Amino acid sequence: MAPKDAVDIIVALDKESIRLHEHELTPRGQIIYDADTLKEKHDKPAFLDIPFSRLATEHGGDKIMANTVATGAVLACSAWTSGILLGIIDETFRKKGEKVITANRNAALPGTIMRSRAASNATLQSLLTKRPVRTCLWAAPRPSPWAPWRRA
């Protein structure tokens, strides 16, 4: 959940998240989503389609790394360097071994590249150049087994 009423970026992992949170976007906000996974395409300027699952499978070897692709895209919107993201991945997956680290590193970078290519999108370009991204909402179906709000 985001700490304020309006958010700059929404990562929509399901259709319901778009319906529930689209109204929370700032005027220059962006919804990043995977049209293939959601099985719907949005043509409004506020939507940026990045094929999280396909890129995760192609570059990381498993669609479970779609969140890592999405993270790469969000961090690129935040003007973070890929080095910061790779360091976070190294630390997060250290106990899982080099194979998992490498797969997640490979999955993260296409997200940053796809976001960079989308920089020609006038709405996104405006968001990135006017001010830094301050708030991002990661919207997923509830309950989700990995979500921080889920109680055991």
Q: What is the pLDDT of residues 82-126, one digit of tens each?
A: 778 888 889 999 999 999 999 888 888 765 555 545 544 544 444
**Residue 118 domain-assigned (yes or no):** yes
The domain that contains 12 carries what CATH number?
3.40.920.10
**Residue 50 domain-assigned (yes or no):** yes
pLDDT, the chain, mean: 75
Cα 51 from Cα 54, distance rounded (Å):
5
**Residue 73 domain-assigned (yes or no):** yes
**Number of structural domains the chain divides into:** 1
What's the Cα-to-Cα distance from 77 to each of 43, 103, 112, rounded to whole Å?
Answer: 20, 22, 8
The number of C-alpha atoms within 13 Å of 4 and in the hemisphere containing its C-beta is 9
Q: State pLDDT tens for residues 30-69.
A: 898 999 999 999 999 889 888 889 888 888 888 888 888 8
The pTM assigned to this predicted structure is: 0.68
Bridge partners, residue 30, by sequence:
9
**Other C-beta atoms lying within 10 Å of the C-beta of residue 103:** 21
CB 21 within 8 A of CB 5: no
- Domain span at residue 111? 7-139
**Residue 1 domain-assigned (yes or no):** no
**Residue 146 domain-assigned (yes or no):** no
**Residue 148 domain-assigned (yes or no):** no
**Residue 2 domain-assigned (yes or no):** no
**Residue 106 domain-assigned (yes or no):** yes
